[in-house]
Amino acid sequence: MIKLVAFDLDGTLLDETLTFTPKVKEAITRAMNQGVIVTLATGRGLSPTDQYADALNITAPLICFQGALVVDHRAKKVLHEVRLDPAVIAVIVQESKERGWNLHFECPDMIYLKSGIDFPQGLMNLLKVSRYKYVDNFLTDLPEVPHKFILSLHDPQERNALAKELRETFDQHLAKITVVPSHPVLVEGLPSGMSKAVGVEWLANHFGIKREEVMCVGDNDNDVEMLQWAGVGVAMSGSSSAALAAADWIAPSVHEEGTVVALEKYLK
């Protein structure tokens, strides 16, 4: 019996317009009325994740930053978090400068972009619902230690090569991070060992829910670990090859409201 469901946002609940349909909201409401705990497990920060949670009437703690932040958004209380090693910041700032990488950092309530960078339109489309600002110097202008950094690309074909190069770069510096592609034009640098599975497992333990009682739904490489960890892992049709391989079942696409179908299938 499924007692906890964790949904990815982009490409899972949200289409390219960054919206969900009334049927998706109705299905989530039915699940919660049955006593199922529903949460969001996303790479996004608390803002705008809390806004989507409120729109869906989700009251459970939210899993943000690929599992690095679990927060009770109603009480504005952090329950669990892991931030980047500060030493990582200096390394990625220098490497990005030398290699011409498009770098930005993310904190719970603000995203920090480097002034003067031609960021890809794919990234800027995603940021339409987020709070962000431009800064001149990451080493002096970040007000807190970020939870993650992101490199963005104009050409999706270069994503996997960039992920490989980023891993090799940090191995040379002996600085530990987890590298994960999260979108066709995004590669993320996370605290070492971090994944959505870490956040989902923390929340399941918080509620005393067993692994086999958890369903996770996602669509990209950054969802792989939670799909593998969950008792039921569901990937959306059209997901990345890694997400499809990790899933127990393939739902219809986000445009076909696959999350509604998944809930109907597993919450009987």
Give per-residue pLDDT as tens, 179-201: 999 999 999 999 999 999 999 99
Q: Could you say which residues of the chain have pLDDT below 50?
A: none
Q: What is the pLDDT of residue 268?
A: 74
User: Two tokens at 175?
Assistant: 């600085």
Question: What pLDDT, on the 0 to 100 scale, is given for residue 35?
Answer: 97
Provide the pLDDT for residue 9: 98
Which region, left, alpha or beta, applies to residue 65 given φ > 0 means left and ψ of -120 to 50 means alpha? left
pLDDT on residue 257: 97
C-beta separation of 39 from 218 below 8 A? no
pLDDT reported for residue 173:
86
